[in-house]
Amino acid sequence: MVERLSPLEPEFHVGSHGNFEHGVEILLTETRPGSIVQLAAWPGEEKKLIAAIRAVTGLALPDGAGGGLSEGVKAVFGFAPGKFTVSDEAEGLAHAFAKAVTPAIGTVTDLSHGRTAIRIAGPKAEWVLAKFFAIDFALPAFPVGAGRSTVHHDVFAQIQRTGTDQFDIYVFRSFARSFWKALCHASEEVGYEVQ
Amino acid sequence: MLITCPYCGPRDVIEFTYQGDGNRERPDPASQNFEAWNAYVYDRLNPAGDHNELWQHSGGCRAHLRVVRNTLTHEISSVAFARGNHAPAARRKSEDKP
Amino acid sequence: MSPRRTDTGGRIDRLKTIRFTFDGVAYTGHAGDTLASALLAKGVTLFGRSFKYHRPRGLLTAGVEEPNALVTVLKGEVREPNLPATMVEIHDGLVAVSQNRFPSLAWDVNAINQLGGKVLSAGFYYKTFMGPVVGPLKGTRFWMFCEHFIRRAAGLGRAGSAKDPARYERMNAFCDVLVVGSGPAGLMAAKAAADQGARVILADLEPRFGGSANWSGEIIDGAPATEWTRRIVTQLEARDNVRLLPRTTVWGYYDNNTLAALERVSDHKEQPAKGEPRHRYWAIRARSVVIAAGAFERPLVFPGNDRPGVMLAHAAERYANEFGVLPGERIALFTNNDSAYRAAVALKKAGAAVVAIADVRSDLSAEMRKLAAEAEAEVLAGYAVVATEGGKALSGIKVQRFDMVTGTLSGDARSIHADCLLMSGGWSPTIHLASQAGAKAEWSAARQAFLPPSPTLNSPVQHWIGAGAFTGSFSTAEAIAEGRAGGIAATGGTAAPTTTPTVQAVPGNPDPAPVFEIRAKGKSFVDFQHDVTSEDVRLAHREGFVSVEHLKRYTTLGMATDQGKSSNVPGLSIMAEALGKPIPEVGTTRFRPPFAPVSIGSLAAERFGDLKPERLTPMHDWHTTNGATMYSAGLWYRPMIYGHAGETVEQAYVREARATRESAGIVDVSTLGKIAVQGPDAAAFLDRVYTNMFSTLAVGKARYGLMLREDGFAFDDGTTWRLGEQDFLMTTTTANAGKVMQHLEYFLDVIWPELKVHVTSVTDEWAGAAIGGPKAREILASCVTGTAVDNATLPFMGIVHGEIAGAPVMICRLSFSGEMAFEVYSGAGHGTHVWEALIEAGKPFGLVTYGLEALGTMRIEKGHVTGAEIDGRTTARDLHLDWMLSKKKPFIGSAMMDREGLVASDRLELVGLIALDNQPLSGGAHIVEELEEANPHGSIGHITACCYSPALGKHIALALVEGGKARHGSRAHVSDPLRNRFGPVEIVSNHFYDPEGTRMHG
């Protein structure tokens, strides 16, 4: 297989940056999942779609809008009514779902190239993200595993909380470098490390 | 201003796009009733008080929402998905027409 | 004598000396000083020149409401004008300069305006600059002639033009309770709410929390108020459900309890820390708000009330107690209420001589007389100040007997020697935020002030509770009780009875006498910053301005940068008196955001310069490293040309277009909007969305489609590819991708929810390269594996799947350039890999890369339309696309497209133009039948796009022209007076080049 080029490449500088002399409070990285797939159920078929997700990935989605979970290399969360984003370290997830999600249940859209996954972690992750998005990042309002659809200016983002102080942000690939630069910039005051 | 999206919860208005007067009803696609088409495309209610509006949560789940918003107090008294909820029964009175 | 620093007292750190300059003179101050307190401590009394009359002005206040002492702070090349010196914290290296004076603050040539006082009254400019009725300067031309000189003389600080290198940020915050103001009321509210477990934000515009507790000299819970404050703040700091925001002005109150605040993060530092912003804009969404914003003391209006050395009473108390600065040695007071007596005692304690207290009230309480005695001040009950003396500093005052019922003066004026006069005209609650939130203020005759309505009258979309002086409860004991109750109520709780902290305070009746103005000879200022006098207000009334809103605009009362914080109520009272109406009937203007000036940088925040969002195609880096000049198209960046050394833009695109038509060219088309349209009803949906049929399209084929808007006008065009029975890939124009997506979503959600169709933006999933030209097929054949690309396998509008250099690709044979052409789509992450493989494969065939200019040139030659022609005013017929309007089915826009005006014969239609003078044409130029350069008129249309056509060897254009086809073969002229381009053209078909399409069909 041909390796995929990261859109962040020229702006991805491994190491510590910004005001890091007193320790870094933000870790930034690109998770580069092999597969990012969007699944969408027809009205009334959501339960079957959730079952298909479980069958293919082994992930059992919790109830409720924006519910989700992540386990190691796989993650799933709801981002809109009847719609879910699934990611996996391995490639080929869209192909696997093509069989499990029949036309009667819904549709499968492969976005493995089209979305870039950026992970922000650390004690100041909520603080830095609050500079971009008008949503409440506090743990009670945004529990671990949950997903949110939101926007920073024109940059659409789906955000999954994958840890107490860790978030995975899925952005359009064309915006990824611009958003990454802004994220680094916003992290400077607390010190950040790119891994 | 906040709109409580039925899926995403309360969100800032910057995430939404106004999609017009929610009282309009589209004529049957094959209809040649020009009056009805004209009313649908051009006529808008502009009430002082509760107004049926369409908003899209364009910076979120992208669902279209039916929002009842008071144009005097800005109070939003209800929000529902547009999908599965029809336009309210026509409230267009003769005096509403220009 | 002059003002001086006291030996003890205040919140400043006398061990820490700070060096700064003001108007080029070096000064020292102490940590904790403002520019105002530090300069006052050095005996500076002259801080600025007034707006209109250039009168000398000193400090009126000690806080955000300061109207006089406005300065400009210089940071490198950057100048920030109009900052109240009372809000500028000094730091080493601070450079501040005074404003509105020439050549210097002490010697200002425009001070001559003072002599023209009668002339420069309200409405002067409106009346004078109407201009003569005839002549070269008639009407507004006279104003335009004079404006330059007037603007130079009048005004505030000068804005700089240097680029501001400072960092500004936006921050979103959510909380249960936002507390505005950190005086005793605010502190108690924050503590009570935090004790309930609520998420609390406490914001105060001052660097120190505590508000009046910092200078009241009161005892709270047995400790000095400052100690008590420190104790509460320490408790709050220790809680993780509380965020403390000092130096943060809450300036806007918007719907649904969304509040805007400005945090001045690093203005008080010599250098911000690495990555630290200068200002942070806070967008706070609070469940409820406790407004504990306090109150502003009001000046009294009397002749000479603006002389340096005349100051608000509490401001002097603040300077003495908070900053350890005495504003004078011999201090006189002038008041209509009890609060000034506390100031007298405080200043006496701090070491000043209090020479007299003139009180408009003849009956004074025993308590006040006792306080006056404590201050060793002579009490002049039933007296008023009628004049002040001195130049750039006060030397004395004149007092006269005053009857506050009739407002008349009597007896001889008596002179009193004083270097400082403190005045108090009562207090106005800081109701700005409540007013912004829609609350209608209520006049309190007792307090002689507008009070916020009770919380039960809140609008349905805002929820706030008031506490302390903001509600008109001026005592600290009340503030503490209301703060606690408000904090609990804001969390939805109910207050259990408890012992609230005890307060030892100087006694005083909160109600002032209803006296705002002493009418005597001389200029009495109402609005200090805009130089509006009481006579101006009366003049406005005489000239017929009866509405307070009109009064405000005519006199500009309250319209300066302080927005009338100190002048609002005195101005209203004078207007009310002139109208013969009580104040509540005259009404008050509604306060609008911002409460205090806000830096534009904080509003722009990160959407500026390098940080504004931009979209890059997968091959972006290849373009920039291979000589492309990039062009911003919306948020996208696209190659404009790949210029060779020494080439002009025109030479480059002509070379690129010519090479493409002669051999082959390749262009990045990744920016085209791409939407996955999936589901069992996808084909039926497309039939309704497009004017032509898509349900009949075979799998593995593409079709060109046109969309109309509901009103029948053309909307967008593009090709849509059928990848599977229920799986379409729609392409849109780059500019309309977002709009088309929203259009589709709207119809699926609102109009046809029964259709089983999902639409997803996949623009970013695919990298697109369009390769066209006589050699294009050979190039593909040499590098594509897994499929043939011959005419049989890949006919016009056919789609095949294969690989290039190991990466999967999807190839569709379609043409925008008019040549035999193919669009090669690959996963975006493989985009550069595939692009480079195509470039490599093309080398033996003379393949060139081309940019937007050549793309545009070839499309003009072919007469294809883009957004320049689909401009929202054109129909399918106008663009000769009526062949695409299916008669077999209704579609969006079909019902409205045949309206009378949309089929009229005089509509502008698409045509081609050829320049007959062989000169370049210009976009936007008008087309006329008869050319008259001196008097351009008679437009019959305009140019939408133009270029030099290498295929024709001529300057050509597309245009929208009345009559359209009927004019083919006729002559007209371009008329472009803006760019001075006039010349003859021939009107021809828009299909300039290969109209039969033999080249692309091969």
Q: Is A42 on the interface with B (CB under 8 A)?
A: no
A1, A3, A5, A36, best to mutate vs chain C, most C CBs in 10 Å = A5
CB C93 within 8 A of CB C19: yes
Say what the pTM is: 0.94
| C-beta atoms of B63 and A149 within 8 A | no
If interface means Cβ-Cβ distance under 8 Å, which residues of chain B face chain C? Answer: 1-2, 10, 12, 17, 19, 26-27, 29-32, 34, 37-38, 40-42, 54, 56, 58, 62-64, 70, 73-76, 81-84
Using CA atoms of C84, C86, C87, C92 in order, give the dihedral in degrees to the nearest 10: 110
Residues of C in Cβ contact (< 8 Å) with B70? 460
Range of the domain at A48: 35-110
| C-beta atoms of A114 and C833 within 8 A | no
pLDDT of residue C217: 95
pLDDT above 90 covers a percentage of chain C that reads 84
pLDDT of residue C502: 93
- State the CATH class of domain C673-763: alpha beta
CA C44 – CA C903 distance, rounded (Å): 77
Q: Is residue A3 part of a domain?
A: no
Residues of C in Cβ contact (< 8 Å) with A148? none
Which residues 22-41 in chain A show a CB within 8 A of chain B?
A: none
Give mean pLDDT, residues A132-145.
97
Residue of B nearest to A158 (CA): B60
The gap from C-alpha C760 to its chain's centroid, in whole angstroms, comes to: 34
Question: What's the first-to-final CA gap in chain B, in angstroms?
Answer: 30
Q: Is C831 on the interface with A (CB under 8 A)?
A: yes
Closest CA to A48 of A109, A93, A103, A91: A103
Q: Is residue B97 part of a domain?
A: no
Min CA distance, C289 vs chain B (Å)?
Answer: 15
C750, C752, C887, C892, best to mutate vs chain B, most B CBs in 10 Å = C750
Residue of C nearest to B28 (CA): C890
- Give the CA distances from residue C277 to residues A98, B59, C93, C948, in Å, rounded to whole numbers and listed in that order: 49, 27, 19, 49
In the predicted structure, residue C496 carries a pLDDT above the cut 90: no
pLDDT by residue (tens digit) across C358-412?
A: 999 999 999 999 999 999 999 999 999 999 999 888 999 999 999 999 999 999 9
Residue of A nearest to B7 (CA): A65
Residue of A nearest to C168 (CA): A186
Residues of C in Cβ contact (< 8 Å) with B26? 751
pLDDT of residue C156: 78
Q: Is residue B38 part of a domain?
A: yes
Question: What's the first-to-final CA gap in chain C, in angstroms?
Answer: 99
Q: How confident is the model at residue C559 (pLDDT cuts 50, 70, 90)?
A: confident
pLDDT of residue B77: 95
Closest CA to C872 of C712, C692, C690: C712
In the predicted structure, residue A168 carries a pLDDT above the cut 60: yes
CB C824 within 8 A of CB C838: yes
CA C561 – CA C529 distance, rounded (Å): 8
Min CA distance, C94 vs chain A (Å)?
Answer: 23
Q: Is A66 on the interface with B (CB under 8 A)?
A: yes
Q: Is residue A57 part of a domain?
A: yes
Which residue in C611, C726, C807 is closest to A185 by CB distance?
A: C611
pLDDT above 70 covers a percentage of chain C that reads 95
pLDDT by residue (tens digit) across C232-282?
A: 999 999 999 999 999 999 999 999 999 999 999 999 999 999 999 999 999
CA C917 – CA C907 distance, rounded (Å): 27
Which homologous superfamily does the CATH classification assign to the domain defined by C620-671+765-858?
A: Probable tRNA modification gtpase trme; domain 1 (3.30.1360.120)
Residue of C nearest to A131 (CA): C171
Q: Is A139 on the interface with B (CB under 8 A)?
A: no
| C-beta atoms of B60 and A150 within 8 A | yes
Residues of C in Cβ contact (< 8 Å) with B10? 256, 285
Q: Is residue B82 part of a domain?
A: yes
pLDDT of residue C550: 86
Chains linked to C by 3 or more Cβ pairs within 8 Å: A, B
CA C293 – CA C313 distance, rounded (Å): 19
pLDDT above 90 covers a percentage of chain B that reads 82
Q: Residues A130, A103: one domain? A: no
Residues of C in Cβ contact (< 8 Å) with A184? none
pLDDT of residue B97: 43
Strand bridging mode C48-49 / C56-57: antiparallel
pLDDT of residue B93: 46
Min CA distance, C870 vs chain A (Å)?
Answer: 24
Domain end: A76, A110, A144, which one? A110
Closest CA to A87 of A166, A34, A158: A34
CB B69 within 8 A of CB B51: yes
Q: Which residue has the higher pLDDT, C137 or A74?
A: A74
In the predicted structure, residue C152 carries a pLDDT above the cut 90: no
In the predicted structure, residue C175 carries a pLDDT above the cut 70: yes
- Give the CA distances from residue A62 to residues A58, A65, A168, B9, C460, in Å, rounded to whole numbers and listed in that order: 13, 9, 18, 18, 35
Min CA distance, C256 vs chain B (Å)?
Answer: 5
C749, C757, C892, C894, best to mutate vs chain B, most B CBs in 10 Å = C749
Q: Residues A43, A103: one domain? A: yes
Q: Is residue A131 part of a domain?
A: yes
pLDDT of residue B90: 53
Q: Is residue B51 part of a domain?
A: yes
Min CA distance, B94 vs chain C (Å)?
Answer: 23
Reading the block at residue A100, the tokens are 């499990």
| C-beta atoms of B59 and A135 within 8 A | no
Range of the domain at B12: 2-91
pLDDT of residue B14: 94
Which residues 644-703 in chain C show a CB within 8 A of chain A?
A: 670, 676, 678-680
Residues of A in Cβ contact (< 8 Å) with B11? 134-135, 150
| C-beta atoms of B19 and C710 within 8 A | no
Give mean pLDDT, residues C441-470.
90
Closest CA to C944 of C919, C918, C925, C963: C925
Give mean pLDDT, residues B73-88.
89
CA C478 – CA C472 distance, rounded (Å): 10
CATH number of the domain encompassing residue B41: 3.30.2270.10
Which residue in B32, B42, B63 is closest to C749 by CB distance?
A: B63
How many domains would you assign to chain B? 1
In the predicted structure, residue C572 carries a pLDDT above the cut 60: yes
Q: Residues A40, A75: one domain? A: yes
- State the CATH class of domain C904-1001: mainly beta
| C-beta atoms of A134 and B12 within 8 A | yes
pLDDT of residue C106: 77
Q: How many CB atoms lie within 10 A of CB C523?
A: 17
| Cis check: omega of the bond before C594, within 30 degrees of 0 | yes
pLDDT by residue (tens digit) across C2-24?
A: 679 999 888 999 999 999 999 99
In the predicted structure, residue B96 carries a pLDDT above the cut 50: no
How many domains would you assign to chain A? 2
Q: Is C785 on the interface with B (CB under 8 A)?
A: no
Domain end: A65, A86, A110, which one? A110
In the predicted structure, residue C147 carries a pLDDT above the cut 70: no
pLDDT by residue (tens digit) across C66-108?
A: 999 999 999 988 999 999 999 999 999 999 999 877 777 777 7
CB C802 within 8 A of CB C809: yes
Q: Classify the complex by whether its ipTM is higher than 0.90, answering yes or no.
A: yes
**Residues near C953 by beta carbon (within 8 Å), at least 6 away in sequence:** none
The rounded mean pLDDT for chain C is 93
In the predicted structure, residue C751 carries a pLDDT above the cut 80: yes
Query: Could you please report the per-residue DSSP string of C250-264?
Result: EEEEEGGGEEEEEEE
Where are the domains positioned within chain C? 620-671+765-858, 673-763, 904-1001
Q: Residues A78, A129: one domain? A: no
Residues of B in Cβ contact (< 8 Å) with C285? 2, 10, 12
Q: Is residue A124 part of a domain?
A: yes
Q: Residues A102, A123: one domain? A: no
With 0-12 / 13-18 / 19 or more C-beta atoms within 10 angstroms meaning exposed / middle / buried, residue C830 is buried
Which residue in B1, B73, B83 is closest to C460 by CB distance?
A: B73
In the predicted structure, residue C153 carries a pLDDT above the cut 60: no
Q: Which of C32-41, C569-578, C649-658 is least confident? A: C569-578
CATH number of the domain encompassing residue A46: 3.30.70.1520
| Cis check: omega of the bond before A43, within 30 degrees of 0 | no
Q: Residues A41, A106: one domain? A: yes
Continuous segment of H or E residues that includes residue C524: none
CATH number of the domain encompassing residue A23: 3.30.1360.120
| C-beta atoms of A113 and C832 within 8 A | no
Chains linked to A by 3 or more Cβ pairs within 8 Å: B, C
pLDDT by residue (tens digit) across B12-69?
A: 999 999 999 999 999 999 998 999 999 999 999 999 999 999 999 999 999 999 999 9
Residue of A nearest to B81 (CA): A81
If interface means Cβ-Cβ distance under 8 Å, which residues of chain B face chain A? Answer: 6-9, 11-12, 14-15, 58-63, 81, 83-84
Give mean pLDDT, residues C416-442.
95
Q: Is A134 on the interface with B (CB under 8 A)?
A: yes
Residues of C in Cβ contact (< 8 Å) with A153? 607, 612-613
Reading the block at residue C274, the tokens are 């690495």
Q: How confident is the model at residue C845 (pLDDT cuts 50, 70, 90)?
A: very high
pLDDT of residue C136: 64
Residues of B in Cβ contact (< 8 Å) with A149? 8, 59-62
Residues of A in Cβ contact (< 8 Å) with C173? 130
pLDDT by residue (tens digit) across C940-978?
A: 999 999 999 999 999 999 999 999 999 999 999 999 999
